[in-house]
Structure 1
Amino acid sequence: MSIPSTESWGKSVQKFNKVANCAILLFFTDDQPTVKLLDYSENATYLVESRITGQKNILRVCRPDYHKKSQIESELAWMRAIDQQSPIEVPVPVSGTNGEYVQSVKLENDPREYHCTMFTFLEGQAPDENNEQELIHQFEILGEITAHLHNHSQNWQEAQTLDREPWDYETILGENPKWGRWQDGVAITPERKKLFQEVSEVIKRRLEKFGKGPDRFGLIHADLRLANLLVEDNKIKVIDFDDCGFGWYLFDLGAALSFIEHKPYVPELVKAWVKGYRKVRPLSEEEEQEIPTFIMLRRLMLISWIGSRDNETAREMGSGYTEATDALAKDYLAKFR
């Protein structure tokens, strides 16, 4: 569910800022830290810095009505397990003064409840999509990291008990998808609608054939795009597990290519990712051949997201993203129709 269209981007940010200033009092008692907005997309994230020690943390104010408290608690449980049981570096959840990891805030004259979480701060910068050679190298590392993540997901016994929603065809491209319908996206003409509909139908058939076996479908990050990776000294750290849920493992590769699927260097990124992944975890030839399906699945999903959101990323992508999908759609149909 998106923030209501009747509420402007600016007013939404003002409201989140008020929530953030209330939330820090639930995590700190004797220290009034500074609070700076870092990003506003699905949620609002803030850099919180102690005036006394200089220690940094990340505060996330969750978009109301998107996840239940129990779902957020499940997300944080997986992050803690990854931190303790795998080589992947992730932010560690920080509990509030009452010992709870999820704190709730309500504002005056606003019936909605805002769930807030705190994390340790990680150093690093997002990969640069304009640095092709560096990005290819980083995708090999990302392939290894993703394989470790999938191994942990498959071997962690508590995974199946988590309260997280599925990311499958129905929830992504079905009749009532979580991020809205691609048919309601920006710049959807009758001709484009017909083209994308055929792509969607091919995706559905291929995913049904591909199946949801335990080696292919499980708990995934589901949003490993460049903005959710931090690079420091040839090491990649993973942040923002807000959309983690149960989906195809290869969807994590489709998500890693978010917003750059049409770039000419993508085949090299995929090749590097597969190479890195196979260093850690098996990937069959059949799975490798199906990668374009997951790239297209994510691409149509992002058209839905852009059409249903009011934030800087959605505005930046706009109609150009939909228009650039035409060539990808035609190429996909030529190969898989």
Structure 2
Amino acid sequence: MESKIDWNSLALTALAQYNISADQLVFLGHSENVTFRVDTRYNQNFATSGEYNEQGLFLLRIHYPITEFRDRIWQQHAVIESELMWLTALYRDTDLVVPYPVQNLSGNLITSVEIDDISETLNCTLLKWVDGSLLDIEPTATQARRIGKLMAQLHQHASLWELPSGFTRPKYDWEQLHVSLMKLRSLVDAGKISVTDFAVLESAVQRISNVMTALEKKRTNWGLIHADLNENNYIFYASEARAIDFSCCGFGYYLCDIGQTLLHLFPENRTSFLSGYQSVRQLPDEYQSILEAFFLRATVDNFAFFASQPNEHDYLLETVPYVTERLCSKYLKGEPFLFDS
């Protein structure tokens, strides 16, 4: 369907349902969603009528993923609305700067747009833009510590927040992990993953699943998580770390969230991240072995995402053997690896 859609035209159709006037519409990319930066001006018609008019920079999201990696549940109205509920609560309850949602002219947070000649409707959302810059290099130890503190603040809020009625987000549990593993199986027949490497991944996933099913789900260790706080989804404004792109948020263990982020940090920065985290929230005793399980869970999930993109298959061909030999083999033997350089 993607090739048949004029995303720019669809974005303008969605924006017409908001109380803004766009000076500039800039296409940002297409991954989990199709995204545009919207630059607005003051609308004189609203000024003379005395009505409120939103101004500034905004992020417009058209909820349509680039691949079929994500289940269609992520595009459902109730699921999207629940993400916006959490963002609204974070904006209201904390000092964190987050991309909070903007209502359309009907007072709704989600705008549905019909696609011409196609019997499908896509959901769109408008968020206030968050100022800051992506890092173009590995974070410093100080920055890694601040990212850790940021994640702990998100977890602290999630652990105390009473979920609204009807709140619905997907789960990052052992069943989701097995779905990711099965996405890799097809690459064995394609010759991109060897039978031997897949067997190692399968053994590691089984052990990780055992860890996950053995963990009791309590408010202190399980709840809403960002689930994708990597170098593309945290920014810095001066020295302040800020989280963006909550579109993958869902229910999971807080250690699962940490493992996802540690996957994108050099080993020497992982300690700094955890130090920042523990300045807000304490980690459980003997957390390292559990965290290593979630680190590998994130690795398998990441591989599954790349499996859905043919242009990334050569990367998998090179990377999977390294992971099975250097990380999974240690994990299966009970040898720590998380802080190895």
* Alignment partner, residue 36 of structure 1: 26
Question: Which of these residues, 171, 180, 186, is aligned with residue 184 of structure 1?
Answer: 186
Question: Which of these residues, 102, 110, 113, is aligned with residue 110 of structure 2?
Answer: 102
Equivalent residues, number: 314
- CA distance 1:281–1:61, shift in 2 (3 Å): same
Q: Secondary structure at the match of 1:199?
A: helix
* Alignment partner, residue 86 of structure 1: 94
Question: Which of these residues, 203, 207, 212, is aligned with residue 202 of structure 1?
Answer: 207
2: CA distance, partners of 1:76 / 1:201: 34
- Structure 1 unaligned spans of 5+: 1-6
Question: Which of these residues, 11, 14, 26, is aligned with residue 20 of structure 1?
Answer: 11
User: After superposition, what is the alpha-carbon deviation per residue over 1:153-211, rounded to whole angstroms, capped at 9, x for unaligned?
Assistant: 1111126851112110101x22x45x962323582211111111111111112222333
* Alignment partner, residue 334 of structure 2: 335
2: CA distance, partners of 1:115 / 1:294: 32
- CA distance 1:153–1:32, shift in 2 (3 Å): closer
* Alignment partner, residue 71 of structure 1: 79
1: CA distance, partners of 2:121 / 2:225: 27
| Alignment check: 8 A CA contact 1:104 1:113 kept | yes
Larger radius of gyration: 2
* Alignment partner, residue 60 of structure 2: 59
Deviation, 1:147, is 1.3
2: CA distance, partners of 1:202 / 1:321: 21
User: After superposition, what is the alpha-carbon deviation per residue over 1:236-257, rounded to whole angstroms, capped at 9, x for unaligned?
Assistant: 1111111111100011112213
Deviation, 1:60, is 0.6
* 1:219-230 alignment runs, 5 A limit: 219-230=224-235
- CA distance 1:232–1:217, shift in 2 (3 Å): same
* 1:72-151 alignment runs, 5 A limit: 72-128=80-136, 130-131=137-138, 134-151=139-156
State which drifts further: 16-25 or 327-336.
Answer: 327-336
Q: Secondary structure at the match of 2:210?
A: helix
1: CA distance, partners of 2:299 / 2:165: 28
- Give the % identical residues: 25
Q: Which runs of 4+ in 1 moved over 6 A?
A: none
* Alignment partner, residue 322 of structure 1: 320
Aligned-pair Cα RMSD in Å? 2.6
Amino acid corresponding to residue 183 of structure 1 in structure 2:
R
| Alignment check: 8 A CA contact 1:180 1:308 kept | no
- Structure 2 unaligned spans of 5+: 44-54, 66-71, 337-341
Give the structure-1-normalised TM-score.
0.84
2: CA distance, partners of 1:126 / 1:334: 38
* Alignment partner, residue 243 of structure 1: 248
Q: Secondary structure at the match of 1:157?
A: coil
Amino acid corresponding to residue 59 of structure 1 in structure 2:
L
**Greater relative contact order (Cα < 8 A, sep 6+):** 1
